Amino acid sequence: MFASLLNLISNWGFLLTNPVTLAIAAFQIWMLVHAIRNREWVWALFIFIGYGLGAFWYYFSVYRETGPSGFELPGAQSRARVRELQAKIHHLDNAYHHFQLGDVYFQRGKYAEAEKSYRAALEREPKDIDARAHLGQCLLRLNRPADARPLLEGVMHEKPEHDYGHTMMALAEALTALGEKDNAMLYAAKNQPEAARAELKVVLSDDAHAPSFQRKRDRVWIQRARSLIGRLK
In a domain, 212, yes or no: no
Q: Which of 181, 225, 227 is nearest to 204 (CA)?
A: 225
Same domain as 149, residue 108: yes
Domain that holds residue 44: 5-66
Same domain as 173, residue 93: yes
Same domain as 102, residue 159: yes
Q: Which of 83, 87, 122, 82 is nearest to 103 (CA)?
A: 82
Residue 147: which CATH number?
Answer: 1.25.40.10
Contact 75/185 with Cβ under 8 angstroms?
no
pLDDT at 70: 41
Count up the domains in the chain and report the number: 2
33/120 Cα distance (integer angstroms)? 34
33/36 Cα distance (integer angstroms)? 5
Q: Checking phi first, is residue 191 left (phi over 0); if not, alpha (psi -120 to 50) or beta?
A: left
Same domain as 88, residue 22: no
In a domain, 225, yes or no: no
In a domain, 207, yes or no: no
Same domain as 133, residue 51: no
In a domain, 215, yes or no: no
In a domain, 210, yes or no: no
Same domain as 102, residue 49: no
H or E segment to which residue 26 belongs: helix 19-37
Domain boundary residue, one of 46, 66, 86? 66
Same domain as 181, residue 141: yes
Same domain as 115, residue 48: no
Same domain as 148, residue 96: yes
In a domain, 83, yes or no: yes
In a domain, 223, yes or no: no
In a domain, 18, yes or no: yes
pLDDT at 4: 53
Contact 125/135 with Cβ under 8 angstroms?
no
Q: What does the pLDDT profile of the chain (233 residues) look like in tens digits?
A: 344 555 555 555 555 556 666 677 778 888 888 778 767 777 777 777 776 777 877 777 766 655 444 444 445 567 788 889 999 999 999 999 999 999 999 988 889 999 999 999 999 999 999 999 999 999 999 999 999 999 999 998 898 788 877 888 888 888 888 887 655 555 444 445 565 566 666 666 666 666 665 656 556 666 666 666 565 55
Q: Assign 28 to helix, strand or coil.
A: helix
Whole-prediction pTM value? 0.54
pLDDT at 24: 74
Same domain as 46, residue 98: no
Same domain as 47, residue 142: no
pLDDT at 34: 78
Same domain as 16, residue 80: no
pLDDT at 100: 93
